[in-house]
Amino acid sequence: MKNMLSERVGRIDASGIRKVFALGAKLEDPVNFSIGQPDFDVPEVVKEAAIRAIRDGENRYSQTAGDEELKAKIAEQVKGDFGWESPSVLISSGVSGGLLLAFMALIDPGDEVIIPDPYFVIYKHLVNMLGGRCVFVDSYPEFRLPVEKIAAAITNRTKMIICNSPANPTGVVYTASELEALARAAAEKDVLVMSDQIYEKFCYDGPCPSIAKYYDKTLLMRGFSKSYGMPGWRLGYVAAGEPLRAVIEEMTKVQQYTFVCAPTPLQKAAITAMDCDVSEAVDAYGKKRGLIYDGLRDKFHLVRPEGAFYAFITAPGGRATEFAEKAMEKNVLIIPGNVFSERDTHFRISYATSDERIRQGVEILRGLA
The DSSP secondary-structure symbol of 326 reads H
- What is the Cα–Cα distance from 104 to 56, expressed in whole angstroms? 35
Strand order in the sheet with 218-223: 88-92, 236-240, 218-223, 192-196, 158-164, 112-117, 133-138
Q: Residue 89's closest CA among 67, 117, 113, 121?
A: 67
Q: Is domain 58-273 classified as CATH 3.20.20.450? A: no
Q: Residue 253's closest CA among 149, 369, 105, 122?
A: 105
Q: SS3 for 207?
A: coil
Assigned fold of 2-42+278-368: Aspartate Aminotransferase, domain 1 (3.90.1150)
Over its length of 369 residues, how does the chain's per-residue pLDDT go in tens digits? Answer: 557 888 888 888 776 666 666 666 677 889 999 988 999 999 999 999 999 999 999 999 999 999 999 999 999 999 999 999 999 999 999 999 999 999 999 999 999 999 999 999 999 999 999 999 999 999 999 999 999 999 999 999 999 999 999 999 999 999 999 999 999 999 999 999 999 999 999 999 999 999 999 999 999 999 999 999 999 999 999 999 999 999 999 999 999 999 999 999 999 999 999 999 999 999 999 999 999 999 999 999 999 999 999 999 999 999 999 999 999 999 999 999 999 999 999 999 999 999 999 999 999 999 999
Query: Do 181 and 199 form a contact (C-beta atoms < 8 A)?
Result: no
Three-point CA angle 358, 360, 362, nearest 5°: 65
Query: Do 126 and 100 form a contact (C-beta atoms < 8 A)?
Result: yes
Query: Do 132 and 108 form a contact (C-beta atoms < 8 A)?
Result: yes
- What is the Cα–Cα distance from 336 to 315, expressed in whole angstroms? 9
For 116-136, b/e burial (b = at least 16 CB within 10 A) is: bbbbbbbbbebbbbbebebbb
Query: What residue segments make up the domains of the chain, in order of their start?
Result: 2-42+278-368, 58-273
pTM value is: 0.95
pLDDT at 13: 78
φ/ψ of 116, rounded to 5, equals: -60, 140
- What is the Cα–Cα distance from 324 to 329, expressed in whole angstroms? 9
pLDDT at 21: 62
Q: Is 284 exposed, middle or buried (0-12, 13-18, 19+ CB in 10 A)?
A: middle
- What is the Cα–Cα distance from 18 to 351, expressed in whole angstroms? 17
Residues shown for the chain: 369
Q: Residue 35's closest CA among 339, 334, 366?
A: 334
Query: Do 120 and 143 form a contact (C-beta atoms < 8 A)?
Result: no
Q: What is the DSSP string of 123-143?
A: HHHHHHHTT-EEEEEE-TTT-
Side chain identity at residue 204, one-letter code: Y
φ/ψ of 151, rounded to 5, equals: -60, -40
pLDDT at 5: 87
